[in-house]
A and B are shown apart, each in its own frame.
Chain A
């Protein structure tokens, strides 16, 4: 079976740093994706990891450890507009479909 776990909800303060964790147990692994989804909108692509290590993209970084089945998304210098759901998804081997976690709702307060 496929299992992807994320915290349901997190809160943080504007200007702070937050780390959103994702653990996965899947029948195969061919990359891990992070998406951002504002309420009522489409998920938008943030990052992709397939090799172990850290990928940095501006204020956002994503880390992967394949041996631990673990990833995190790090958001720095939080802004109010970062309040959204963050979706962790794994592309398993075979076809291209993504298996998603239930998402982490992040609330950034002033």
Chain B
């Protein structure tokens, strides 16, 4: 079946503009995660959804970042008033959301460049 998909694959924007990044998880996966990967850094957790609710938003770096998930499927990560330090690859992952060995499967990411 289809894996996790993300769009756009690349986004170049100007400082101060808002951007929306989209994630389509694997069908049937109830859990969805957003991570950020900056150059030379490890993956940094941003937010976790179980269904449409987000029990863990602890990784969102500021109130400029928000995310939502609708219908237990597609999720959108919104960054308002982008800054140059927001430049990174934003990765989405999904998992079944249950079981001890629950494994996250990643999408190809959106490369965001803020000029």
Interface residues of A (CB under 8 A from B): 4, 31, 33, 35, 41-45, 48, 50, 87, 89, 94-103
A44, A50, A94, A100: the one within 8 Å of B43 (CB): A100
Q: Given A95-B55, A95-B56, A45–B42 Cβ distance below 8 Å?
A: no
Interface residues of B (CB under 8 A from A): 3-4, 31, 33, 35, 40-45, 48, 50, 55-56, 59, 91, 95, 97, 100-109
How far apart are the CA atoms of A105 and B110 in the complex, in Å? 21
B106 near A44: Cβ-Cβ < 8 Å: yes
B44, B55, B101: the one within 8 Å of A50 (CB): B101
B102 near A97: Cβ-Cβ < 8 Å: no
Nearest chain B residue, comparing its CB with the CB of A48? B101
Looking at the assembled complex, report how far the CB atom of B80 sits from the nearest CB atom of chain A, in whole angstroms. 23
A96 near B33: Cβ-Cβ < 8 Å: yes
B106 near A103: Cβ-Cβ < 8 Å: no
Enumerate 21 A-B pairs (CB-CB under 8 Å) in ascending A order. Answer: A31-B101, A35-B106, A42-B91, A42-B108, A43-B43, A45-B103, A48-B103, A87-B42, A95-B55, A96-B50, A96-B95, A96-B97, A96-B102, A97-B45, A97-B56, A98-B45, A98-B104, A99-B45, A101-B42, A102-B40, A103-B42
B42 near A102: Cβ-Cβ < 8 Å: yes
Nearest chain B residue, comparing its CB with the CB of A42? B106
Looking at the assembled complex, report how far the CB atom of A8 sits from the nearest CB atom of chain B, in whole angstroms. 9
How far apart are the CA atoms of A43 and B97 in the complex, in Å? 19
Q: Given A89-B43, A96-B31, A43–B91 Cβ distance below 8 Å?
A: yes
B107 near A42: Cβ-Cβ < 8 Å: yes
A95 near B103: Cβ-Cβ < 8 Å: no
Looking at the assembled complex, report how far the CB atom of A20 sits from the nearest CB atom of chain B, in whole angstroms. 14
Contacts of B41 in A (CB 8 A): 102
